[in-house]
Amino acid sequence: MGAFRWLSLAAAASSALALTPEGLISAPRRSEAVPNPSGKVAFFSTSQYSFETKETSAWWSLIDLKTGDIKPLTDDSNVSELVWLTDSTLLYINGTNSQIPGGSELWVTGVSDFAGGYKAASLPAQFSGLKAVTTESGQIKYVFSGKSYRNGTAYNEELATTYASTARIYDSIYVRHWDTYLDTTFNAVFSGTLGYSQQTRLLSIGGLHNLVAPVPNAESPYPPFGGASDYDISPDGKWVAFKSKAPDRPQANYTTAYIYLVPHDGSETAVPINAVGSAPKGVEGDANNPVFSPDSKTLAYFQMIDPTYESDRRTLYLYDIASKEISALATEWDRSPDSAKWVDDETIVVGAEDNARGNLFLIPIKEATGDFVPDALTERGYATAYYPLPHKSLLVTGSAIWTSWIVYTASLNPEKGVLKTLASANEIDPELDGLSSNDVAEIFFQGDWTEIQAWVIFPENFDRNGKFPLCYLIHGGPQGSWADSWSTRWNPKVFADQGYVVVAPNPTGSTGFGDELTDAIQNNWGGSPYEDLVKGFEYAQRDLPYVDTSRAVAAGASYGGFMVNWIQGSDLGREFKALVTHDGTFVADAKISTEELWFMEREFNGTFWDARENYRRWDPSAPERILRFDTPHLIIHNDLDYRLPVAEGLSIFNVLQERGVPSRFLNFPDENHWVLQPENSLVWHQQVLGWLNKYSGVGEENEDAVSLEDTVIPVVNVNPPA
Ligand SMILES: *[C@@H]1O[C@H](CO)[C@@H](O)[C@H](O)[C@H]1NC(C)=O
Ligand SMILES: *[C@@H]1O[C@H](CO)[C@@H](O)[C@H](O)[C@H]1NC(C)=O
Ligand SMILES: *[C@@H]1O[C@H](CO)[C@@H](O)[C@H](O)[C@H]1NC(C)=O
Ligand SMILES: *[C@@H]1O[C@H](CO)[C@@H](O)[C@H](O)[C@H]1NC(C)=O
Ligand SMILES: *[C@@H]1O[C@H](CO)[C@@H](O)[C@H](O)[C@H]1NC(C)=O
């Protein structure tokens, strides 16, 4: 053992960190690549924060789809969104309006002379999610979304009425969501038209139509995460489809959503195509992602069955606009696709989480009946955006644990797969220099009742003959996963590069491995997932010779934070030198303070009063568990996390402190469930990694490792001497 220990010190001491917290946060962040109609070139945006200037800069670039060469398009920060009109012309939203304070404008320009564009329309407020099609007559029909008043007028923040009191008054539950209190405005989809004047310039014809406001209580996109994929415009410019949570059902305890169809000109009120009664029998869950076929005759969308379960399986449906008939595709496929693109009128590509990757699948409509299981077109990392290119291929943008952005072409023939990588951030960005697919491996072990997959992420200068302390990362959800994708919040490589081998398991409750694994979490929060994690720890101890479990640490957020709190009161808690909980639940009865009642009522199979024993079954705050608390524990909880309110973090910190367990409380008053602002993110990383490094001994071994003392903000109070 002595010799091993010496080796590990040597290996760790020589490790220059490949990925540092500063590098992770200040590396460029790029959008999807959007090809022009002929598929020769694509645009994408980049934003980058500088710790020196404390500013974020943003710019647009073009990537050549033959060579991968990248060149600048514009760095004008008034340009907020682009769409291709032709191979060489673009339509964009300009965030400034020369006449209306707080308004914006639509501009048209050429790719080769971006600054030489002209204004095509004046817009009364701010909008995003621009989509546009060119009709047969040459008009441009567009849609975008923005905030709206109930009377249909677009909400302009700069011109809005303010009141002397800040009071808010509610007559129904669902008072706040995620990080925002509901107010009298809501999201709406607006449509408009541009036409040629004297055959030279595009100009606005008629005004904007609010397509959502005429439906009482409808809202689209659905906040906080709904965006442009919540609506679509038909290629012929005649129709718009949008998703809204079912306005006729209570918002707090149902997930039911409808897909609405409405003429682009707003001449009729939108009608739901899949309301209860018109949807296939028994299908009452969340619906999303409407997309029109190239011939504008069919609308594809996804829907779940269960009206309260946000992680039910999504099935692909086709709505025939003429006959109003709905048909289901690939109903037996045990995956839950969440994005779709038509390749032609007979073929759809969908994206779905699949064995901890984000793969694309080909669905030939005529074949996709019965027990059809589609073939994967990509099997690398996580595909996040894709566009059909000429010659039966796709332009794909994605990421992986080892790269923040990768752009490649993939064949529509599953046997050919990935054709050519055009660009990857780990080869462009100095912050990601040294990262490669060799940094990541995958293991499988027998869990509580089934086989469990986990990612293993190696530190820089990893040596199979060395020994590196285990960093055990536990994901949230619980219906979620550690996937082969990039994250700027919980990036396993940034943990590994401190000098750990990271093991990131996908236990019971995880998504992407089929319904059985996901659904088995119900009423089972501290049951099978905990046993799976114990088995995974034992696997690392027994079968990964380069992992030192005697200096292991564990961290998790959200459900992962609940699990770390549960582990603190369990046998497994004694195996760790330090624990970190980020925005986790602690007191079982406190769950009723959330606004997402559908979530709790599904997870614990009943209301707070009918099924209280289910809510209490896995209670990390039970007295006999608290009496076992002993492992140093950092608690993080943010004020704007309304789904798991900050009292949860304060409660466990009270207990840890009263029980004399080394502990610290880190709070961000201006962050929600996530820590997004770069300077806050840096402190978060310094505190999380510093805490783990202090107790695992990595801090002493590796002079490049992050330390708690790196944070310049003073500690508010320290424990009086005992
Ligand atoms: C955006 O446009 C306004 C109005 O012309 C101008 O004052 C401002 O400088 C522009 N911003 C940038 C970053 O170019
Ligand atoms: C944005 O609009 C403002 C106001 O019309 C104009 O001054 C500015 O040049 C525009 N910028 C771009 C990039 O279109
Ligand atoms: C709609 O309501 C807003 C907010 O009350 C108001 O400012 C606006 O004038 C109204 N629009 C119309 C057309 O009445
Ligand atoms: C949802 O809440 C409404 C009242 O807001 C109630 O009538 C209904 O029974 C609840 N449904 C479920 C499934 O809990
Ligand atoms: C959930 O509750 C229903 C009705 O009480 C019951 O039939 C079902 O078995 C329960 N499911 C679980 C997983 O406990």
The three state secondary structure string of 258-313 is EEEEEECCCCCCCEECCCCCCCCCCCCCCEEEEEECCCCCEEEEEECCCCCCCCCC
- Residue 319 belongs to a domain with what CATH number? 2.120.10.30
Residue 155 belongs to some domain of the structure: no
Going from the Cα of 614 to the center of ligand 5, the distance in angstroms, rounded, reads: 10
Using the atom order of ligand 2, give the atom closest to the CA of residue 92. 14
Average pLDDT, the chain: 95
Task: Name which of 490, 378, 494, 380 is nearest 435 in CA terms.
Answer: 494
Output 121 or 11, whichever has higher pLDDT.
121
CA 472, chain centre distance (Å): 22
pLDDT at 13: 37
- Decide whether any atom of ligand 4 lies within 6 Å of the 601 Cβ: yes
pLDDT at 721: 65
Residues 439 and 311 in one domain: no
The 8-class DSSP code of residue 138 comes to S
- Decide whether any atom of ligand 4 lies within 6 Å of the 303 Cβ: no
Strand partners, 443: 454
Residue in this structure with the two tokens 């079954």, named with its chain if needed? 617
- 3-class SS of residue 561: helix
Instruction: Supply the residue whose CA is at minimum distance from atom 2 of ligand 5.
Output: 605
Instruction: Among 329, 348, 367, give the residue marking a domain's end.
Output: 329
Going from the Cα of 306 to the center of ligand 4, the distance in angstroms, rounded, reads: 14
Cα 677 to Cα 659: distance, rounded to the nearest angstrom: 33
Distances (CA, A) of 242 to 272, 297, 603, 722: 9, 16, 29, 61
Q: Give the phi and the psi of residue 690 in degrees, each rounded to 5.
A: -60, -40
Going from the Cα of 200 to the center of ligand 2, the distance in angstroms, rounded, reads: 20
Residues 322 and 437 in one domain: no
**Residue 605 token pair:** 């199979």
Residues 441 and 313 in one domain: no
Residues 622 and 510 in one domain: yes
Q: DSSP letter string over 405-469? A: EEEEEEESSTTT-EEEEEEEHHHH-GGGTT--GGGEEEEEEE-SSSEEEEEEEPPTT--TTS-EE
Going from the Cα of 99 to the center of ligand 2, the distance in angstroms, rounded, reads: 11
Sorting pLDDT into bands at 50, 70 and 90, what band is 703?
A: confident
Q: How many CB atoms lie within 10 A of CB 366?
A: 8
Per-residue pLDDT of 407-457, as tens digits, reads: 999 999 999 999 999 999 999 999 999 999 999 999 999 999 999 999 999
- Decide whether any atom of ligand 1 lies within 6 Å of the 86 Cβ: no
- Residue 693 belongs to a domain with what CATH number? 3.40.50.1820
Ordered strands of the 128-134 beta sheet: 128-134, 140-148, 186-197, 201-210
The 8-class DSSP code of residue 151 comes to T
Task: Work out the angle between the directed axes of helices 528-543 and 559-568 (0-180°, nearest 10).
Answer: 70
Instruction: Supply the residue whose CA is at minimum distance from atom 11 of ligand 3.
Output: 153
Percent of the chain with pLDDT over 90: 94
Using the atom order of ligand 3, give the atom closest to the CA of residue 160. 7
Q: Which of 264, 312, 641, 663 is catalytic?
A: 641
Residues 320 and 440 in one domain: no
Q: Domain range spanning residue 621?
A: 432-710
Residue 236 belongs to some domain of the structure: yes
**Is 641 annotated in the active site?**
yes
Residue 278 belongs to some domain of the structure: yes
Per-residue pLDDT of 314-339, as tens digits, reads: 999 999 999 999 999 999 999 999 99
Closest ligand relative to 119 C-alpha: 2
Output 503 or 200, whichever has higher pLDDT.
503
Q: In this structure, are residues 127 and 189 in contact, taking their beta carbons and an 8 Å threshold?
A: no
Strand partners, 387: 395
Torsion region of 136: left, alpha or beta (phi above 0 gives left; psi -120 to 50 gives alpha): alpha
pLDDT at 8: 38
Using the atom order of ligand 4, give the atom closest to the CA of residue 307. 13
Residue 97 belongs to some domain of the structure: no
Residues 580 and 691 in one domain: yes
pLDDT at 379: 80
- Average pLDDT of 207-220? 97
Sorting pLDDT into bands at 50, 70 and 90, what band is 17?
A: low
Closest ligand relative to 155 C-alpha: 3
pLDDT at 204: 94
Residue 472 belongs to some domain of the structure: yes
Cα 412 to Cα 199: distance, rounded to the nearest angstrom: 39
- Decide whether any atom of ligand 2 lies within 6 Å of the 86 Cβ: no
- Decide whether any atom of ligand 4 lies within 6 Å of the 354 Cβ: no
Using the atom order of ligand 4, give the atom closest to the CA of residue 172. 5
Residues 474 and 589 in one domain: yes
- Decide whether any atom of ligand 2 lies within 6 Å of the 100 Cβ: no
- Decide whether any atom of ligand 3 lies within 6 Å of the 153 Cβ: yes
Residue 171 belongs to some domain of the structure: no
- Average pLDDT of 461-476? 96
Q: In this structure, are residues 100 and 122 in contact, taking their beta carbons and an 8 Å threshold?
A: yes
Residue 185 belongs to some domain of the structure: no
Q: In this structure, are residues 258 and 275 in contact, taking their beta carbons and an 8 Å threshold?
A: yes
pLDDT at 3: 35
Per-residue pLDDT of 349-386, as tens digits, reads: 999 999 999 999 999 999 998 789 999 999 889 999 99
Closest ligand relative to 601 C-alpha: 4
Strand partners, 49: 56
At residue 666, does pLDDT exceed 60?
A: yes
Closest ligand relative to 207 C-alpha: 3
pLDDT at 1: 30
Pocket test for ligand 4, best of 253, 276, 601, 604 (most atoms within 8 A of CB): 253
Q: How many CB atoms lie within 10 A of CB 623?
A: 8
Q: DSSP letter string over 193-247? A: EEEEETTTEEEEEEEEEESSTTSTT--SSPTTT--GGGEEE-TTSSEEEEEEE-T
Render the burial of 53-79: b for 16+ CB within 10 Å, e for the rest: eeeeebbbbbbebeeeebeebbeeeeb
Sorting pLDDT into bands at 50, 70 and 90, what band is 200?
A: confident
- Average pLDDT of 202-227? 96
Instruction: Among 279, 312, 329, give the residue marking a domain's end.
Output: 329
Instruction: Supply the residue whose CA is at minimum distance from atom 11 of ligand 5.
Output: 605
Cα 72 to Cα 93: distance, rounded to the nearest angstrom: 18
Q: How many CB atoms lie within 10 A of CB 333?
A: 21
Q: Tell me if the pTM is above 0.85.
A: yes
Sorting pLDDT into bands at 50, 70 and 90, what band is 16?
A: low
Cβ-based burial of 712 (10 A; exposed 0-12, middle 13-18, buried ≥19): exposed
Sorting pLDDT into bands at 50, 70 and 90, what band is 10?
A: very low
Instruction: Among 305, 329, 353, give the residue marking a domain's end.
Output: 329
Going from the Cα of 613 to the center of ligand 5, the distance in angstroms, rounded, reads: 13
Residue 208 belongs to some domain of the structure: no
pLDDT at 347: 97
- Average pLDDT of 156-169? 96
Going from the Cα of 256 to the center of ligand 4, the distance in angstroms, rounded, reads: 13
Domain count, the chain: 2
